[in-house]
Structure 1
Amino acid sequence: MSSPMTVHQLDDRLTVVCDTDPRLRTTTWCLRTGFGARHDPVGKGGIAHLLEHLLMSVPVDGGPGLSERVEATGGSCNAMTGPDFLLVHARTRSEDAHRVLGWLAEAAVAPDLTKDRLDAEREVVLRELATAAADPSDAVREAVYTELFPEHPLGRVVGGTPEELAGVTVADVLDTHAERFLASRHLLICVGPQAMDEILPAVRATPLGALPPARTAPDGPRVAPSLPVVRRDRPAWPRDEFCWLVLCARAAPRDSELRAAEKVLAQLMGGSPASLAYQRLRNERGLAYLFHAQQRGYAESGVWYMIVGVEAERGPATLEVARELLAELAGRGPGEAALDAARTQAGMSLVFAAEQPQDRVLQLAAHVAPTGEGPPWSLERELELLHQVTARDVRDAAARMLDGLHVIVRPEAS
């Protein structure tokens, strides 16, 4: 069995989390920083995402880039950027754990960046943006943020725009890396057979042991309490096309206990065969086959959304059914059987993640405070919060979503 998770505040810059499981033969590292797309300099959108690519590809230890080195050991390596985070994670054999940590630290703290490497990764990012723009399912997720947070850093396109990326120089990336990425607080997570007293000396021996003083990257303005836009409740449907419909609203922030009820609501409106939406949209009406719902929390706000793939001709009926169901939940709440299934599903999604090392580090990266402050996160506490959600809690959550509901369709009507 795994040992209790331990947290060590190395200094004001780095918090180390060790989740020891002696049964594992692999070690998974994750470095998460509080710098993300919302902290990109004005006019330089996409730098955080571009930096993510560069950290994976710049040479380390006089050889290939981080991802190539880790994969050559038989491991796996990946990275991602969000509105308020950038993280890199790598899983490898435990006997390779210390050298992989060294590569990860070198790439993150002292990237060997040249114009040729920047130009090459910029082209990769531009291809990635073009691919996403051509996929309506990606476009509709992106639209959720621009719709709910207009003129605010949380509404920025994570990858930036081709026009912004074209003007990014090596100096821009290095300045952003030094002044925003390195200056943010960092969280280093280890899931493997090692204990904290074994990994701390290894961490101190890497560049992560000598980070510059932490500063808080500028978040920009606070989220306005109300949206300065007119809600579009009657979307223009594309003609004779398969499209993606999204119902979305602002939700509770990351540290609010209201998010538990919103997660249960997402299960009730999600794509599980046990959900109310599945029964209504698929089994009873045969309107849609592919859909899901989710809640995501950030520092001062969050998003709740339901995405449905549907033929345009069935779009209006699908929207009507989804809104009716949300209104029913806001009116009388779910029945006990549906509520119990949704609570259990929401909890089991956390349990499934906790039992997979690579998912486990991402789970910890999403929930453990990088400052080491506040109550320690635990899977048991999250499960208890979900278990405590009542029908009235779900009713209130549905009412909040319905009150601030926005409707988006992609592709848009031509």
Structure 2
Amino acid sequence: MSGAIEFPLGVAELSFEAAGGSLVRRSILRSGVRILTEQVPGARSATVGYWVAVGSRDEQPGTYGATHFLEHLLFKGTGSRSALDIAISFDSVGGEHNAMTAKEYTCYYAKVRDQDVPMAVEVLADMFTSSLLHPREFETERGVILEELAMADDDPADVTNERFFLGVFGDHPLGRPIGGSPESIRAVTRDAVLAHYRANYNPQDLVVTVAGAVDHDELVAGVEQALRQAGWDLEAEGSPVGRRSGEPDQIERGSPVIVVQRPIEQAHVLVGVPGLVATDERRTVQTLLNSILGVGMSSRLFQEVREKRGLAYSVYSFAPSYSDAGAFGMYAGCSPSKAAGVAELLLGELRRVADHGVTEAELGRARGSLAGASALALEDSDTRMTRLGRSELTLGEFLDLDEALRRIELVTPGAVQELARDFVTRPLSIAAVGAVDESMFAGLDAEPTAA
């Protein structure tokens, strides 16, 4: 494979060989269902994923948290399987099954031996198409989700992360917590969640991705059989739902400094700025900038904050990207009395890259780190299955390992510095949880100046 492979929605069949000899195929059924597989030589297991391009950002007032609520409910039983039956299906073969709700998609997945792939396809299809959302189960799961939210609220790092997104994205839907709030979960009705289910879980919304020990033609036949058995009309002509726009949205920052005061031993501090959209041509540059700043023990943040000064145990950076927005954040957990100084150090390292750039040696280490981490990650069929899903739903193109590494090699120190210069002109957001107050961060949130 040479270069990225485009995934146009109007092309029904695609097939190509990717790095390492894996075979990638995509079929779009007449009904609009999309099925993608990556057959990996020598694999004896596979990961199966059922996706919809609907996440927490797509919820309307009165239904905040409904997407995550629905994710829970799809495990609670169908007309032909109880919740216990679903669990036994996977437990009895040593498989794993779970789901993930994100801001822009939801995925239900299972990892099983090659011989159990047909079972996984059938059970996930039953869950996806035929969940009952029984009123009794609905109320039981409401309590479970409230406990999940309470558990997250007891984790100050989680709280800091949620407040950081609120600061960066403000009132934009991306700024909302994925799971909703205790108030929204207590208020949401079964009818609202059921309407959400019926509106978004249809043939044109469904993407099935399977990676590992999989035969594409057999997989397509199995998915079709399972969906027909569930009562779906696969003969009716339909087109896949369109992808989200990749144009950056105009987002107004929330409060520049958000502090949650708690009497805990550490202050959890996050500073950052808006980042890049998922399809931005500079996303590889952002990945390298993130690696140099805050990934691994040789990163600048780790060396400066932990190794040289001993101010934190956990320190890192991250760069989530969405269809029309993104964020770049830097985190540290430290003594409350040192919180302001640590925040200055985090921001200072980003500014130092903007002012002085990075060395060839640093860039070489980052390239090597990313190359190795990417290769190791692809030993897991979960990663390959997820790559297929994101390629189809968000990127509209597939990058194999060789192409990803080629793009990494093309990044120059100048490109990394230029992106850092861009970032330091963007509105700064600070979130902190602990025995701290807003006044400690006074001055750090000054409006940015143009480079």
Are residues 1:409 and 2:428 paired? no
Alignment of 1:21-170 (within 5 A): 21-59=40-78, 61-63=80-82, 64=84, 66-170=86-190
Write the distance in 1 (CA, Å) between the matches of 2:260 and 2:139: 39
Q: Alignment length, in residue pairs?
A: 410
Tell whether the 8 Å contact from 1:43 to 1:164 is kept in structure 2 after alignment: yes
Deviations 1:191-243 (A, max 9, x none): 122221221111111117746856759989x965353545339x798677302
Write the distance in 2 (CA, Å) between the matches of 1:299 and 1:12: 25
Are residues 1:328 and 2:352 paired? yes
Correspondence for 1:171 among 176, 191, 198 = 191
Deviations 1:295-331 (A, max 9, x none): 1211111111122111212222212222221111011
Offset at residue 68 of structure 1 (A): 4.4
Give the aligned partner of residue 5 of structure 1: 24
Which amino acid is the alignment partner of residue 29 of structure 1? V
Which amino acid is the alignment partner of residue 103 of structure 2? P
Offset at residue 343 of structure 1 (A): 2.3
Give the aligned partner of residue 14 of structure 1: 33
Offset at residue 32 of structure 1 (A): 1.6
Offset at residue 118 of structure 1 (A): 0.8
In structure 2, relative to structure 1, the CA distance for the partners of 1:320 and 1:167 (3 Å cut) is closer
Q: Secondary structure at the match of 2:319?
A: strand
Alignment of 1:11-410 (within 5 A): 11=30, 13-59=32-78, 61-63=80-82, 64=84, 66-182=86-202, 185-207=205-227, 210=233, 213=238, 224-225=249-250, 227-229=252-254, 231-232=256-257, 241-366=265-390, 368-370=391-393, 374-404=396-426, 405-410=428-433
Tell whether the 8 Å contact from 1:147 to 1:155 is kept in structure 2 after alignment: yes
Deviations 1:166-212 (A, max 9, x none): 22222222110111343763321111222212211111111177468
Which amino acid is the alignment partner of residue 151 of structure 1? D
Tell whether the 8 Å contact from 1:56 to 1:79 is kept in structure 2 after alignment: no
Which amino acid is the alignment partner of residue 91 of structure 1? K
Write the distance in 2 (CA, Å) between the matches of 1:244 and 1:29: 37
Write the distance in 1 (CA, Å) between the matches of 2:31 and 2:361: 47
Which amino acid is the alignment partner of residue 395 of structure 1? Q
Tell whether the 8 Å contact from 2:62 to 2:187 is kept in structure 1 after alignment: no
Tell whether the 8 Å contact from 1:15 to 1:370 is kept in structure 2 after alignment: no
Offset at residue 94 of structure 1 (A): 1.5
What are structure 2's unaligned runs of at least 5 residues?
Answer: 1-19, 438-451
Write the distance in 2 (CA, Å) between the matches of 1:226 and 1:189: 32
Write the distance in 2 (CA, Å) between the matches of 1:90 and 1:97: 9
Supply the RMSD in Å over aligned alpha carbons.
2.7
Offset at residue 7 of structure 1 (A): 1.8
Write the distance in 2 (CA, Å) between the matches of 1:355 and 1:307: 29
Write the distance in 2 (CA, Å) between the matches of 1:191 and 1:226: 36
Q: Secondary structure at the match of 1:309?
A: strand
Which amino acid is the alignment partner of residue 78 of structure 1? N
Question: Equivalent pairs: percent with the same residue?
Answer: 24
TM-score (norm 2): 0.84
Offset at residue 348 of structure 1 (A): 2.7
Write the distance in 1 (CA, Å) between the matches of 2:60 and 2:192: 9
Deviations 1:123-171 (A, max 9, x none): 1111000011111111111122211111111111110112211222222
Q: Secondary structure at the match of 1:17?
A: strand
Offset at residue 22 of structure 1 (A): 3.8
Write the distance in 2 (CA, Å) between the matches of 1:237 and 1:396: 36
In structure 2, relative to structure 1, the CA distance for the partners of 1:384 and 1:237 (3 Å cut) is farther
Tell whether the 8 Å contact from 2:294 to 2:302 is kept in structure 1 after alignment: yes
Q: Secondary structure at the match of 1:57?
A: coil
Tell whether the 8 Å contact from 2:125 to 2:227 is kept in structure 1 after alignment: yes
Q: Secondary structure at the match of 1:323?
A: helix
Write the distance in 2 (CA, Å) between the matches of 1:190 and 1:408: 38
Tell whether the 8 Å contact from 1:243 to 1:409 is kept in structure 2 after alignment: yes
TM-score (norm 1): 0.91
Which amino acid is the alignment partner of residue 325 of structure 2? S
Write the distance in 2 (CA, Å) between the matches of 1:288 and 1:38: 33
Write the distance in 2 (CA, Å) between the matches of 1:210 and 1:248: 48
Offset at residue 407 of structure 1 (A): 1.6
Q: Which one is further off, 257-266 or 204-213?
A: 204-213
In structure 2, relative to structure 1, the CA distance for the partners of 1:237 and 1:45 (3 Å cut) is closer
Write the distance in 1 (CA, Å) between the matches of 2:100 and 2:312: 30
In structure 2, relative to structure 1, the CA distance for the partners of 1:188 and 1:154 (3 Å cut) is same
Tell whether the 8 Å contact from 2:301 to 2:316 is kept in structure 1 after alignment: no
Write the distance in 2 (CA, Å) between the matches of 1:6 and 1:217: 20
What are structure 1's unaligned runs of at least 5 residues?
Answer: none
Deviations 1:260-294 (A, max 9, x none): 11111111121411212222112211112212211
Give the aligned partner of residue 16 of structure 2: none
